[in-house]
Amino acid sequence: MLSIAVSWQQLNCPPADTRGINSHFHFPAYLGFLSAAVCSLPERILGGPPHNLHMESNNFQHILSWQARNDPAVPTSYRVFYRPRRNWDWTSARQCSGTAQLSCDLTEEFKDTSTEYYAFVQSITGTRVFNSSVLRFAPLTQTRLGPPEVNVTPCLNCINVTMKLPTSHYREKGKLLSLIDIYEELDYEITLKSQDREDKRAQEKTTEEVFSTVIEELYPSRNYCVSVVVSASLNKHSIPSPWKCVLSGSMAHPGYHLAAVAGAVCVSLVIGAALKSLHAGGYFLLGKSLPRALESIRRWVYPSWIFPAEEVDSVEVIPREVKPKASGCSGSGSGSDSEDSDSSAPWDHNYTRRGVLGRAPPAPGTPPGQYSENRPCEDSGTLGTASTPPEPRGSEEQDSDLEGEQDSGGEVLSPFPGLSCQCPAGQGGSACFTIDLQSVLLGTLEGSGHGPAAALPAREHEGLWQCDHALEARDDPGTGHKALGADGFQEWQNSPSEEESDSSESDTEQVTGYMRR
C-alpha cells in the first residue's frame, strides 16, 4: 500500500528539477513500477482458492472443511464438488452450493460406502473463481468408528461391561444402516485400568449392536476403569470411549457368612466351657466367704472398722467350783496331769467344747499352735467354748470353767475358733472358747504359779491374741460336737488399757473361777 501511494504521488507530483528534461523518460518506468506493485499485492486482497481441505468423518457423517485465502471482509462464496471414482463427472453438493461457510456436510452425498470419492472446493470472489486441490476420501476405510456407549456394573470379583455401538449416519434407500449392517462384523478391544497398571485385553468380535462381556478374576473392592475401542477389519480408525470406572464387587460369599458365624459360635462355646470348668473348680466366683481365721486377720489389719455390737442378754452368775479334768494334751505338766486325771466331772456339760473344722489331729509332740481334735486338755480347765450362739449359762459359769486352767502362762483364749489350742509345755492342756472378748477380763490361772498380778499373755501381745493351746473337740453327749461357725464368733476390739485395768479384777475373779463380763 505504501509503494502504491508513493507511485501515485510521483505521478501526480513530478519533481521540479527534472520536469522539463526527464518527464518522457520516467513515465514508462513509473507505469511499469505501478503494474508490478499491483501484481505483487497479497492474494488475500484479491482472493484465492481454498486450501487445507480436511474431511472430518465420524460413523459415516462426513464434514468437509477448508480455509480461505481471501480477506474475510471481502465477500466470498463457496461450492463443493464431488464424484465417485468410477464417475468422471463432478457433482455439486446441494447443501453447500454458494455457501459462505468454510465447511460442508457431505453425509447425504456419499451414497456408496464401498467406493472412493473425490471432492474439491470452489471459491467465488466477485468474478474470480478459484478451485482447490482434490481430496480423496474412502468412507468405508477412512471414517472413524466410535466411541461406543459403555456401561460398567460390578459383580463378585468381576465387572460386567455392556457396550453399544454408535449410531451410523449412512442411509441406503432412505433407511438408516448400523455399523453391523455395513461391516457385518466388528472388533472391540477393552482396556482395563486399575490403580497401578493398564492392560489391553484380547480383541474380540461381535455381530450385535449391543453386547457385553464379563471381566473376571479381579480384586474385590478395587476401582477399575474401562475404555472400549471398536474397529473393523477394513477400518482401524477408531475413537476410544471415555474411561468408565467402578468398584469391583465385594459381597462376601454366602458360605463365608455361615463359616464365620459357625466359627464364632464354636469359639464362644469353648470359652464358656472353659469358664464353667474354672468356676466349678473354684478358681473364681466362689461365692464363699473367707474362713473365720482369715476374716479375723483381715479385721485385725483394719482396726478402725466398726464392728457391730453383740447382742447380750442379762444372766445370773452362779459361782461354782470347776474341777479340772484329766485330758490328754501335748506338753502338759505332770502335776497338772494328775489333777486333771482326777477330774471326773464332765466339765463339758457346762459349756460346749468347740471343735476345729477340718483340722487333723496333730501328732504327739507337735509344736504348739497346731490343731488337735478330740483331745481334751489334761491339766487345764477345759475351756469350753459355746457353740454358736453361746449358751446362756451365764458368764460365771464360763468363768468357773476358766478357773480350771491349771497351767500357768495365763489363760489364753483364742478369739479364733478356727485355731487349735495346744497346751504349752508344763502348763497342761486347755481349750479354746468363743466368747465376747469385749467383756472378758483375763487373769492368770491358779495352778499356773502365777499370781493374780501375773501378766497375761494379752499384755505381752497387745492387740494380738495367740492361741497356743491345742483345740480339742470332745464328743459331748449333751451338747455334741459343735463345729466352729463363723457366725458365733464375735469381733472384739482390742483395748490394751482395759486389759491392764481389768487385770486386777480378773485376778480376783480368777479365784472364784469364772470370768466376769
Strands 91-92 and 117-125: unpaired
Contact string 166-205 vs another protein (x = CB under 8 A): ------------------xx-x---------------x--
CA distances from 73 to 100, 108, 126, 421 (A): 12, 31, 13, 134
Among 153, 221, 233, 501, binds another protein (CB under 8 A): 233
Among 11, 138, 357, 455, binds another protein (CB under 8 A): 138
Residues 17-36 that bind another protein (CB under 8 A): none
Min dist. Cβ of residue 164 to another protein (A): 22
With respect to another protein, which residue has the nearer C-beta, 92 or 115? Answer: 115
Largest CA distance in the chain: 191
Q: What angle, rounded to 10 degrees, do the helices at 23-39 and 2-12 form?
A: 160
Q: Which of these ranges, 138-146, 255-263, 401-409, 468-476, lies near another protein under the rule CB under 8 A?
A: 138-146
Among 234, 259, 273, 297, binds another protein (CB under 8 A): 234
Rounded to a whole number of angstroms, the CA Rg of the chain reads 64
How is residue 17 written as a grid cell?
A: 528539477
Among 63, 134, 345, 357, binds another protein (CB under 8 A): 134
Residues 253-272 that bind another protein (CB under 8 A): none
Cα 452 to Cα 460: distance, rounded to the nearest angstrom: 15
Among 133, 153, 221, 223, binds another protein (CB under 8 A): 133
Q: Which of these ranges, 8-16, 103-111, 230-238, 394-402, lies near another protein under the rule CB under 8 A?
A: 230-238
Residues 434-463 that bind another protein (CB under 8 A): none
Among 140, 159, 163, 441, binds another protein (CB under 8 A): 140
How is residue 74 written as a grid cell?
A: 471481502
Min dist. Cβ of residue 172 to another protein (A): 13
Min dist. Cβ of residue 186 to another protein (A): 11
Min dist. Cβ of residue 139 to another protein (A): 12
Element (H, E) at 44: helix 43-46
Element (H, E) at 275: helix 254-280
Cα 444-446-448 angle, rounded to 5 deg: 75
Among 235, 370, 503, 506, binds another protein (CB under 8 A): 235
How is residue 261 written as a grid cell?
A: 458365624
With respect to another protein, which residue has the nearer C-beta, 85 or 298? Answer: 85
DSSP 197-222: -EEEPPPEEE-SSEEEEEE-S--TT-
Min dist. Cβ of residue 40 to another protein (A): 30
Strands 77-84 and 91-92: antiparallel
Min dist. Cβ of residue 203 to another protein (A): 8
Residues 44-103 that bind another protein (CB under 8 A): 85-86, 88
Residues 111-130 that bind another protein (CB under 8 A): 114-116, 118
With respect to another protein, which residue has the nearer C-beta, 187 or 348? Answer: 187
- Count the site residues for another protein by CB under 8 A: 21
DSSP 134-192: -EEE-HHHHSBB-PPEEEEEEEBTEEEEEEEPPPP--EETTEEPPHHHHHS-EEEEEEE
With respect to another protein, which residue has the nearer C-beta, 236 or 298? Answer: 236
Residue type, 364: P
Among 136, 200, 279, 349, binds another protein (CB under 8 A): 136
Min dist. Cβ of residue 231 to another protein (A): 9
Q: Which residue has the cell 458368764?
A: 395
Min dist. Cβ of residue 236 to another protein (A): 5
With respect to another protein, which residue has the nearer C-beta, 233 or 493? Answer: 233
298 binds another protein (CB under 8 A): no
Cα 359 to Cα 414: distance, rounded to the nearest angstrom: 16
Residues 359-378 that bind another protein (CB under 8 A): none
300 binds another protein (CB under 8 A): no
Min dist. Cβ of residue 190 to another protein (A): 17
Strands 482-483 and 354-355: parallel
With respect to another protein, which residue has the nearer C-beta, 186 or 467? Answer: 186
Decide: residue 308, CB within 10 A, 0-12 exposed, 13-18 middle, 19+ buried. exposed
With respect to another protein, which residue has the nearer C-beta, 118 or 300? Answer: 118
Min dist. Cβ of residue 230 to another protein (A): 14
Min dist. Cβ of residue 162 to another protein (A): 24
The answer to whether 380 touches 431, Cβ cutoff 8 Å, is yes
Q: Which residue has the cell 457431505?
A: 106
The answer to whether 289 touches 486, Cβ cutoff 8 Å, is yes
Min dist. Cβ of residue 132 to another protein (A): 11
141 binds another protein (CB under 8 A): yes
Q: Which long-range contacts (CB under 8 A, 24 or more apart) does 504-509 make?
A: 504/452, 504/453, 505/441, 505/443, 506/441, 506/442, 506/443, 506/452, 506/456, 507/443, 507/444, 507/451, 507/452, 507/453, 507/454, 508/443, 508/452, 509/399, 509/441, 509/443
The answer to whether 377 touches 428, Cβ cutoff 8 Å, is yes
With respect to another protein, which residue has the nearer C-beta, 18 or 133? Answer: 133
Q: Which residues bind another protein (CB under 8 A)?
A: 85-86, 88, 114-116, 118, 133-134, 136, 138, 140-141, 184-185, 187, 203, 233-236
